[in-house]
Amino acid sequence: MVKLQTESSPVTVKIDSQKYWNATGIYLETGAIYTFEVKGEQFWYDATIKTDAYGYTKPWFRWAEMFRRKPNENWFSLIGNIGQSVEQEFLIGKKLEKYKVPLAGELFCYANDIPIMYFNNHGSLNLTITRLS
Band (pLDDT 50/70/90 cuts) for residue 132 is: very high
Residue 29 has pLDDT above 90, yes or no: yes
**Furthest-apart CA atoms within the chain: distance in Å:** 47
Question: What is the rounded CA–CA span in Å between residue 101 and residue 111?
Answer: 20
Nearest to 88 by CA among 73, 75, 102, 77: 102
Question: What is the rounded CA–CA span in Å between residue 53 and residue 127?
Answer: 10
Give the start-end residues of each E strand in the chain: 2-3, 11-16, 22-28, 33-37, 44-46, 49-51, 78-82, 89-91, 95-100, 105-111, 121-122, 124-131
What are the phi and psi torsion angles at 118 (to 5°)?
-70, -15
85 versus 112: which is more confidently predicted? 112
Homologous superfamily, domain 2-131: Galactose-binding lectin (2.60.120.430)
Instruction: State the pLDDT at residue 51.
Output: 98
In tens, the pLDDT along 36-81 reads 999 999 999 999 999 999 999 999 889 999 999 999 999 999 999 9
